[in-house]
Amino acid sequence: QDGEIEEVVVTGSFLRGSPLDAPSPVQVVDRSSIEAQGAAVIWDVIKNLEVNSGSITNPGSGDNTQVSGSANVNLRNLGENSTLTLINGKRMAPAAVTTRSGGEFVDLNSIPLVMTDRVEILTDGGSALYGADAVAGVVNVIMRTDFEGFELYGDIQGVQKADQKYDQTISAIWGSSFNNGDTNIVISA
């Protein structure tokens, strides 16, 4: 007698599998690893990946100030528009600006870290499944859409060799479920 299936989660495939037995290697950085890294933004997680070799953050210096405050993912240094960025398996719209080389990119700093459950990185090219914008790979940010309760997070990190400069982070998330768990509402800042 077959048991009842309560929930099936499909991300980028019709068949669910673990990252270890997938045909292409998938690296998963879960919530506990993100917190252990002391990440302030998602780019802090991306920059620590072995496959990362071209992701940058734009502090605002130089002649291209239209991209100041943004960050992008660039796996294998094949170009910022060669890595596909997804949120919960759906494509995210690129930023409204381009880099000096004319490349489009998804601004990672617009994704709230407090809402992030895990980051899944397809470290091989994903163009067969996703198209030409996934030649270098795919970064899929899975959000905490079923979070219940309240969480407050604060962090101050000193920047080595930068005198009195600090990374300061404060964030909060609240969530609740309704209709016997069929409806969830999550708010973060």
Q: Report residue 35 CA to chain centroid gap.
A: 14
Task: For residue range 124-178, list pLDDT tens digits in order.
Answer: 888 788 888 888 888 999 999 889 999 998 888 777 777 777 778 888 999 999 8
pTM of the model: 0.76
Give the pLDDT confidence of 47-100 residue by residue, as tens digits.
888 877 767 776 654 555 677 778 888 888 887 788 888 999 898 888 777 766
Sequence letter at residue 63: D
Helix (H) or strand (E) holding 45: helix 42-46
Please give the C-alpha separations between residue 85 and each of 51, 74, 126, in angstroms, as whole numbers: 15, 10, 11
